[in-house]
Chains A and B, each alone.
Chain A
Amino acid sequence: MKAWIAILSLKLIMVEVALAAPQINMDYVRAIKTGGDTTVFFKGESVQAFRNPAANLSEDDIRRHLSGDALFERNFSDDTNRFEYGLGPVFNNTSCNACHSKDGRGALPVIPFNQEWVQLKQNEAVFLRISIEDGIQRPKNAQNKWGAPVPVPGFSDQLFHLGSMGVREDIPGSGQAQVWMKYEKSTFTYPDGEVVNLRKPLFKVTGAYDEYFDSVTGQTRSRLYENDVKMGARIGTPMIGLGLLEAIKESDILALAARDLSDEGVSGKPNYVIDIEKVLANNPYPVSMGRFGLKNNTPSVMHQSLGALRGDIGVTNYAFPDESIVGTILYDIFKNGRTLPMGVEAPREVADDIVFYSQTLAVPSRRNVDEAEVVRGAELFHQVSCTSCHQPSYVTGPHQIAAFSNQKIYPYTDMLLHDMGDGLADGRQDFDATGREWKTRPLWGIGQTQTINPRAGFLHDGRARTIEEAILWHGGEGEYSKNKFTRLPKADRTALIHFIKSL
């Protein structure tokens, strides 16, 4: 009954917002203050571009931000005698900063040219999401964990390739399994004959902790190696402007979802996901609209950050108090004979300061907005319909951090899921997101990405070395725009990329 009411009221909202169909405001072409009054300004190019607090924070807020900053860079440890205790027992990295290099994007591991596979070690910015995938979309109820991915038995929904000492006596330093990566190379040829080299990372897993030799089939087996297990790589994403994305009005996002863009083959949809704040408040229907994560699978910066603190680094906190591998045999083996400290590892204020920091990193201003090439590129951006998904602007609604309320911002995302085609698909459902759907990435700050980290890669798994490569990977709902882009004369393609680099 309750669910019925929820659906009904949702439909009413959709009807209401459909009336106010959003238009593309072309003021984005020359807009400089990308994050409204939160914007920070740089004259040149700098590795510090993403490392600043929002410009309009109060002094108290700045102090909190700086306290979170130190925590974000902290190397957590599994040594109980150490101040920054809490790492592990399994993890993907030892600090937030290690995946979000200088608060920007991560890079895929280096594969020397004379080598095929490389093993993911410590300090790589990429990890694998894993789940059991049978293609069936389940109803959203408590029994089905409100549509959450089905964890791999004996593992979870994230593969932890690193482990504290003592987790794997057989392979010290490893976690649940070892992960390897290589590239599949391909080329794209423009209608005008220009060729671009593309690469896609492929992963294989070895040394799973439950691995055994099956003498009947003559195969090495693990639950992880079964065919119904799907894996998808995720790379560390930029940390800027997250509080502002949180402040975008839900009605504005739903209005974008309600547009009819069928001529372009575009149909953005929201994701509805578990909301840990509602769970903590004992809300019987703990589901909210997703805004963060590459498939919009978390609803808030708090949920996303504290989930990552426990997941990626293994530091338990008030929102996620259990170790990530509780209930698996690996944990039982690890526990055996050890006295484990009781209680959560990150004190409340540590957890909250990390969340606050993650909300309050500033977006840098646009650059070179008056260059003719950039202006022309901005107009082409709209002409080839990039703006259909990369919605340029919003005016934010209220936010608990006053600095983010009522700001005119230019994030270039509709905050919605889109089918991006086979080339990018990871085959994994995540709540309402299918194995082919991804959230539109915000483009603000993107032009500074490789100033901050020269090897940083674009798209969910960091495969694209350039903005051009990222555009060429667009398939599915992105196909229409990509085709329009590829048919542009070279000079126009360059101008369009110039515009994106000015963001």
Chain B
Amino acid sequence: MSAGGLSEVELAGQVIELVRRLGGPAAQAEAVVTRADLALTRFANSAIHQNVAESTVGVRLRLHVDGRTAAGSGSVVTADGLRALVERTLAAARLCPPDPGWPGLAPPTPAPAAPPVDEATAHAEPDQRADLVRAFVAAAGDLSTAGYCRTAHRSSAFANSAGHTAHGRSVEAAMDGIARRDGADGVARRCADRLSDLDGAELGAHAAAKAQAAADPVELPPGRYEVVFEPAAVADLLQNLSWYGFNGKRYAERQSFAEPGAAQFDPTVTLVDDPLGASGLPFDAEGTGRRALTLVEAGTTRAVAHDRRTAADAGAESTGHAVAGGATWGPMARNLRLSGAAAGPASAVGRSTTGTTAGAVVDADTAALVAGVRRGLLVTDLWYTRVLDPKSLVVTGLTRNGVWLVEDGTVVRAVRDLRFTESYPRALGPGAVLGLGGRPVRQPDRVDGAWWAAPPVRLASWHFTGGASG
């Protein structure tokens, strides 16, 4: 017997009905069914070398029966497959110890309105992605290029035994590429709601200009430097702040730096998780509606993200940040936007670079920030960042894809990559942010559905602890 051809809503409803039938009326259950069409065209050495697509369906079930909880998932959506999923998850729950912290199911509530999806992106063909790659490669001229263009379409339905249902769709397009010249790399990276919003030629030219400007780097001694971080670098700060700081579980366990109500950041810092600010699913893994959540307002920490379990522990409401498997990791904010300066940069008069370093600065926001630096570094990207201590959020990592020395407001030369060891909240603390660009630029995450939007940022101090030679 096959359940093929049923909608996600029908499949989710069928799973809940099976739980009622097999687990009894007292069984509490929630099911999420997601169909996904994900495609990624990858290029290296200026040729497409990997080109992949997957059409998948997944069912995720969490149930609570006789005071015990278990979760199961599967890709088999035949009637037999769904029944097997329910049976094994029920069996697992019965063998588990009691779960006194079970927070119950999301009650029936209307889902928030989600932005419309772009059908052309949802059904994009491999030729379209290849054409964007071709434009990127062509724009980089004789430089070697590498990167990807991807599209993602998800259609998802939620149902629980409390009678709550929700469904939604999301699409995303992203392009991320480097251009290389004599071992010096430049990068351009964008995330968009529509494939047609990506301009391969513009991104390729941007990456090539950065690579040209990164030639012949010199080594600088380690130490504390003033920095201008471009949006790609700021994205790393946002991700780590989210995972380790604004995570309701880590906060409850005293592993987070976050102190709601305290002025922990510079007054220029306002951080909002805005999952529906772009195409996104309107509900989380527990069916809770997703809405914008202000985490930091003008430097003061206002909130941490909650799912139903961490919210119950904290005497709060879920903020709609439950993720699959989140009982261990905790709730995640994955769509953070660092607001830009209210009036935009004061002196966005153009690029501050000349000569061999022309192209290091590719937008007016960054130019305005660089113009104010007496001596510091312009940093494009951060790489391989790892947390040394989660509570103070001390992180080590390296620069990548272009670093330049700035003197008296002008980029003067390319610099070799540097390793840093720095506390992220301290680097963004009161008095530490010397300037913000006006326009947040959305950066893709490694997985679709997560993104980080930020303008370039000028910071008073960043601790570089080693050069390329160690």
Instruction: Answer whether A and B are interacting partners.
Output: no
Residues of A within 8 A of B (CB): none
